[in-house]
Amino acid sequence: MSSGSPAADLDCVASTNNGENFSLSEFFRTEATTLLGRVKPFSDYYRESRAMGLAHYGREIVSAVSNRVRVRGIDGTTREMVMFGSNNYLGLTTHPHVLGRIQQALEEFGAGVGGPPLLGGMTQLHMELERRLSIWKDTEDSLLYGSGYQANLGWVTTLLRDDDVLLYDEYNHASLYDGIALAATTTNLKAIRFAHNDTEHLERLLIRVRKGAVSPNRQIFVAVEGVYSMDGDLAPLPRISELCGEYGATLVIDDAHGTGVTGKTGRGTSEHFGMKDGVDICMGSFSKAFGMTGGFLSADREVIDYLRFCSRSYMFSAHLPITTVAGVLGGMEVIEREPERIVRLHENAVYLEAGLSALGFKTFREASIIPVRIPVDVNIRDVCKQFDDAGIFLNSIEFPAVKKDGQRLRLSVMSTHTREDLDMAIAAFEQIGRRTGIIPDVTV
Ligand SMILES: Cc1ncc(COP(=O)(O)O)c(C=O)c1O
């Protein structure tokens, strides 16, 4: 570990190619002296790409987000597409029970709360959701945040103090990186990343940290994700938890993509591994399996009490709208009553991955996210446009979101995808894959 200024130990903040952490602004720096001059290079580039149909970001959806969506194209017309670009894994956004819960809450409580939780923004439903989450996560208490992003910012900036050490997986989400950057403005915490899912590297760092000069107050934190969003792989949680126990570190897991879908009853990655305990703080998001917005932290009561009154991204932001809270509660009830949704999701993911692998695509799957590698010499934007033309809505993940040779298409599977949806995707992959030379063209 290096010493010196706090920033010297932050080897992380401006990273451009590790997991979901980057900023495009780094590519459009100019010496311009006006605001317009500063932003125009990006704006020109973006408009040009869009006009060519090569920028598939922020597509305009004109229907509910389900297994099929209606999308407006650049010519202004709309058409139906099969949706593989949403993390609405269980199709809850259109479930009648979820919609009914939201309507009932709207009638009973109105549209919103108009304030932060500690100052008049807390309702019975918010408290009920905290209680339910604590049962799901088998913890004493939980705390709702406006987003998963805020939840990550919340624990990092509130719990870490001077001389603390945070060891984190290099593929952690941007919100953790931003939390570290913000915490570094007020503490001299040391944040060190370890190679993705490399528990030997983590152990070497733990040994190094333990050997280093120790301030009596220093605490060690380890941060990982349950399911990694770009690669769809799981953290080796049992081993990481064991190491944390051995070296006296606090383990925090970001289970944004695990909550609701991973484990037999969807309680998350700990359930998947059959772990009763061994995770100190669990963070989750409602923007994935629940298809809504919002985030939370679950932990021991004293930790949550402290965060409730000291975490600025909680205290200084309005509480979640009541409709969102009701929708998440409804979603949890659906997951409990209809466990077959999770079974179906996994069957769909296995089917799609098998179909793509059989064609010769380089894929990997442990969860419901299927990344399909696109060779570095292939123009991924052009490939994505061909999928768009074929009516398949998927996400193109390219540099700087991942390393240049790690570019990929990312498909998020839903339990509501039909066999026809999945077969349409496989057929499109076959056609486009052969046309672009990603897989061998047997007809040649
Ligand atoms: C792993 C991970 N953590 C945190 C977040 C942030 O969650 P939210 O969308 O609720 O702000 C995301 C969202 O992309 C994520 O993938």
Residue 9 reports pLDDT greater than 70:
no
pLDDT at 212 over 80: no
CB contact at 8 A, 55 and 382: no
User: Does 1 have pLDDT greater than 60?
Assistant: no
Distance from the alpha carbon of residue 214 to the mean position of ligand 1, in angstroms: 33
- More confident call, 318 vs 20: 318
3-state SS string over the chain? CCCCCHHHHCCCCCCCCCCCCCCHHHHHCCCCCCHHHHHHHHHHHHHHHHHCCCCCCCCEECCCCCCEEEEECCCCCEEEEEECCCCCCCCHHHCHHHHHHHHHHHHHHCCCCCCCHHHCCCCHHHHHHHHHHHHHHCCCEEEEECCHHHHHHHHHHHHCCCCCEEEEECCCCHHHHHHHHHHCCCCCCEEEEECCCCHHHHHHHHHHHHHCCCCCCCCEEEEEECECCCCCCECCHHHHHHHHHHHCEEEEEECCCCCCCCCCCCCCHHHHCCCCCCCCEEEEECCCCCCCCCEEEEECHHHHHHHHHHCHHHHCCCCCCHHHHHHHHHHHHHHHHCCHHHHHHHHHHHHHHHHHHHHCCCECCCCCEEEEECCCCCCHHHHHHHHHHCCEECEEECCCCCCHHHCEEEEECCCCCCHHHHHHHHHHHHHHHHHHCCCCCCCC
**What's the rounded Cα separation, in Å, for the pair 183 and 152?**
11
Q: Given this model, what pLDDT does residue 50 score?
A: 78
Average pLDDT of the segment spanning 3-27? 48
Whether the pLDDT of residue 238 is over 50: the answer is yes
- Residues of the chain with pLDDT > 70, as a percent, come to 94
pLDDT digits (tens, 9 = 90+) for 382-408: 999 999 999 999 999 888 888 888 899
Neighbours of 23 (CB within 10 A): 12
Q: What is the pLDDT of residue 16?
A: 41
Q: Is the pLDDT of residue 192 over 70?
A: yes
Ligand 1 binding site (Cβ under 6 Å of any ligand atom) = 20, 147-149, 152, 173, 175, 225, 229, 254, 256-257, 285, 287, 295
Higher local confidence (pLDDT), 31 or 106: 106
Among 156, 229, 320, the mutation site with the greatest number of ligand 1 atoms within 8 A of its Cβ is: 229
**pLDDT value for 223:** 98
CA of 284 to the centre of ligand 1 (A): 8
pLDDT computed for residue 49 by the predictor: 80
C-alpha of residue 173 to centroid of ligand 1, in Å: 7
What distance in Å separates the CA atoms of residue 371 and residue 125, rounded to the nearest whole number?
A: 37
Mean model confidence pLDDT for the chain: 91
pLDDT class of 19 with cuts at 50, 70, 90 = low
Looking at residue 56, its pLDDT comes to 79
- Whether the per-residue pLDDT at 11 is higher than 50: the answer is no
**Best substitution site from 89, 155, 172, 173 to test ligand 1's pocket, by max atoms within 8 Å of Cβ?**
173
The answer, yes or no, to whether the previous bond of 236 is cis (omega within 30 of 0) is no
Select from 175, 262, 288 the residue to mutate for testing ligand 1; criterion: most ligand atoms less than 8 Å from CB: 175
CA 334 remoteness from chain centre: 22
The listed range with the strongest mean pLDDT (44-48, 228-232, 332-336) is: 332-336
How many Cα neighbours within 13 Å face the side chain of 12?
33
Nearest CA to ligand 1 atom 10: 148
What tokens does 356 get?
């793509």
The pLDDT of 84-102, averaged and rounded, is 97
User: Which atom of ligand 1 is the closest one to the Cα of 293?
Assistant: 10
Q: Is residue 14 predicted with pLDDT exceeding 90?
A: no
Say what the pLDDT of residue 44 is: 86
Residue 204 has which token pair? Answer: 């070497």
**274 CA → ligand 1 middle, Å:** 24
The answer to which of 149-158, 165-174, 190-199, 360-369 has the lowest mean pLDDT is: 360-369
pTM of full prediction above 0.95? no
Distance CA 229, CA 227 (A): 6
Strand partners, 249: 220
* Whether pLDDT at 10 is above 50: no
By the 8 A CB rule, do 395 and 85 touch?
Answer: yes
Q: How confident is the model at residue 215 (pLDDT cuts 50, 70, 90)?
A: confident
- 20 alpha carbon – ligand 1 mean position (Å): 9
Q: What is the mean pLDDT of residues 56-85?
A: 93
The answer for residues whose C-beta is within 8 angstroms of residue 269's C-beta and 6 or more apart is 226, 227, 234, 235, 237, 253, 255, 258, 262, 263
What separation in Å is there between the alpha carbon of 437 and the centre of ligand 1?
34
CA of 296 to the centre of ligand 1 (A): 11
